[in-house]
Every structure is written in structure tokens, then in C-alpha cells.
Structure 1
Amino acid sequence: MSATGIALDDGVIKLFYRSADSLFEIRFSLNFQDERLLFDVTQGVFLEDDGSVAAARHLIEIERFIRDYFLNGELQIWNALTDELLSRKDAYIPLNCFLDLDACNARIEHAKSELDRRIKSIDYQ
């Protein structure tokens, strides 16, 4: 993913990263004063589903990410070139909600089925 946008808001740097095919975007912020990585899974992950195989692949990864994040996953930002940890966010502890693991896994399986359907539709053309 490559940085596609940056904004400074009251000492907080907002970063926007987009996939090479421009279908997937993730947004987060770096608060250097409080030494915090700020990320909201409900407002920080975006997919433009254009009906392509690539979009279906992204959806599988997004569904896995959301499941793992809600299962107390720790978000880490790494420099892919230097293998250096740039920032991290403590494990996500959901409040006032219940994660239905079976439903999360069903969403992943549904996304995989959609990927298979899209691949087959290309094969038949």
C-alpha cells in the first residue's frame, strides 16, 4: 500500500493508504504528543467493490482483519523496506458488544465464495 493522503489536524497527522489497484484504503492517525496510533475499525477501512476478482480478494482480507482485530488484535504499522516497527496500537477491547465468531467466519466464507464465483465468471467468458 502507498500513502495517498496526509493531513495535519491539531497536532495529529492523519494518513491515508491505498492499495496499488486503488480499491482498498485504510486511514489512521498518529498523535505524536500522546504517542498514540489512532484507528477506528468502523471508519478506517474502505473497499470500492467494482465487481472484480481483486475487490473480492480484498474483501476476504478485510473480513479476516476485522475478525482478528475484534478478537483483541494489536494493530502494528511496519516499514516494509526496513522491517522497522513504526507504530502500534494496544489490543482492541470491544465494549458493549459481542463478537459472534461463527458469523465472522461465515462472512469470510461468503467472501471466498464470491471470489470463486467471480473467477468462474471470467473463465466462462
Structure 2
Amino acid sequence: MIVWLNGPFASAGRPGPATLAPPEHGELRPLLTEVGKSALCIPDEYVTTVVDVAPWAAAKWRAILAHRSEVARGRTLPGLLARLPEATRHKIIQTEYFTRLRPGPVPRDPHQITT
């Protein structure tokens, strides 16, 4: 049993997810279908934030490859990505999409991401 303690943020309620990262990309759907998996996605109009992570794509790919048993299985997402040509794989992993699930304070434009 989880007990929520009283404190300065008790009025905020129970913690919960504020964003959803849908694992969907146009290039990915045919691959998932090919191995009998369905694509988990939301309509594009619900995406509230698009993040260009191209500068970190190589590091992201190395992190995915570190899960060797998942890559070797072939039907998992890392395995599917490993079968792709490098240019297609890069196109998929260089952008991340998020959807705000609940309203909250936004100090500036929620669509502008800076690093």
C-alpha cells in the first residue's frame, strides 16, 4: 500500500504521467506489421512536442545495441531497427514525439525545445 505524505505539494494530488511518448514512425509501421505486431500510436494531431535528437542519434543507437539479446531476437524493436539500412534507422531515431496528457503550467511556447 502506498501512502501519500502531506507536504508542500500535497494539493497537487497523486503523481502521474504528464507525457506520453508514442513509439510510432511512418517507417516503422510496415516493419511491425511484417512480424505480426501492431503499431502503438496516436493521431499526429495529438502530438504536442517534437524533439530533434539528431545530434544524439549515434549515442542513442549505441544504447539500443547494448541490449544484445533484444537485437538478436529480431522481432523486438531493437532487432527490427538493426535490420534497417542506416539512413532509414537514423530517420526513425533522430526525432522523438510527445503528447501532453494533462494541462499544466507552461512558462513559454510548449512546442519550442531548446538544449
TM-score, normalization by structure 1: 0.23
Report which of the two structures shows the higher radius of gyration computed on alpha carbons: 2
Q: 1 or 2, which has the higher strand percentage?
A: 1
